Amino acid sequence: MNIELFELTFHYKNNQPIFEHLSLSIPLQRWVVITGSSGSGKTTLVKLIAGLLKPDQGRIIFPGDVINRSGFHFGYLFQNPDDQLIHFNIERELAFNLENRGIEPRMMRVKVENALKEIELFERRAESPNNLSGGEKQQLALAGMMISQPQILILDEPCSFLDIFAQIDLQSKVKKLGQEQLSILWISQEDHEIRLADYVICLNQGQVIFAGEVQDYFRRFGKRTDEA
């Protein structure tokens, strides 16, 4: 199963096009890293896929869905968790997405309690997210996405604001999700994060310069896949 992009063109108002006639096939149920230099179009691409932006021209086609996204629920994790956490306490953060999806209250309480225990914040559930460390905030934001069981999880450089220990913890959790065949789109410029993935899409100035298996990416760009 793939997401198919056909002849996609997009530009921000009063700017040059980010993409012109871009065609690309993105595999689902895999961990896909989207990489490239700053300004190459990585974030714009995932926002177009998620429907947060609309293309000027072209089509995005999902499996069994022709041209729209019905049946595909997205989770989107931003670089800075402070941009994502909006509620007055930790428990409400997790309940919010379930309320939006109309989950029955009794089931909601069970899901929230389980999620709080998994991220080891159950005893702090009444606290403000502002009391958490950067790593704990990002774990809470990820739990808030996963509690509503998205089919596609998008992570936009999610380790940017985390220390090394929080980075390792987050990467470990996402790796486990990948083993469960969740579709993951992870934006990163870091080689050690790219190595965790299955598939790599590399952009340069709005053009795809590589799309393929992670081993082939490092082979082509002259880097060892076993580097520390």
Which pLDDT score, from 0 to 100, does residue 149 have?
86
**Average pLDDT estimate for 152-159:** 92
Which pLDDT score, from 0 to 100, does residue 71 have?
59
Question: With bands split at pLDDT 50, 70 and 90, how would you rate the model's confidence at 162?
Answer: confident
Greatest Cα-to-Cα distance within the chain, rounded to the nearest angstrom: 54
Q: Which domains does the chain have, with CATH numbers?
A: 1-72+151-228 (3.40.50.300), 85-149 (no CATH)
Question: With bands split at pLDDT 50, 70 and 90, how would you rate the model's confidence at 197?
Answer: very high
With contact defined as beta carbons under 8 Å apart, do 97 and 76 qualify?
no
Query: Nearest-CA neighbor of 70 among 80, 61, 57?
Result: 61
Higher pLDDT, residue 39 or 153: 153
pTM recorded for the entire structure:
0.87
- pLDDT tens by residue, 7-55: 999 999 878 889 999 999 999 999 999 999 888 999 999 999 998 999 9
CA–CA separation, 109 vs 83, rounded Å?
Answer: 25
- Pair of tokens at residue 108: 């909601």
- pLDDT tens by residue, 82-141: 888 888 899 999 998 888 888 888 999 999 999 999 888 999 999 999 999 988 999 999
- Please say if the pLDDT value at position 70 is more than 60: no
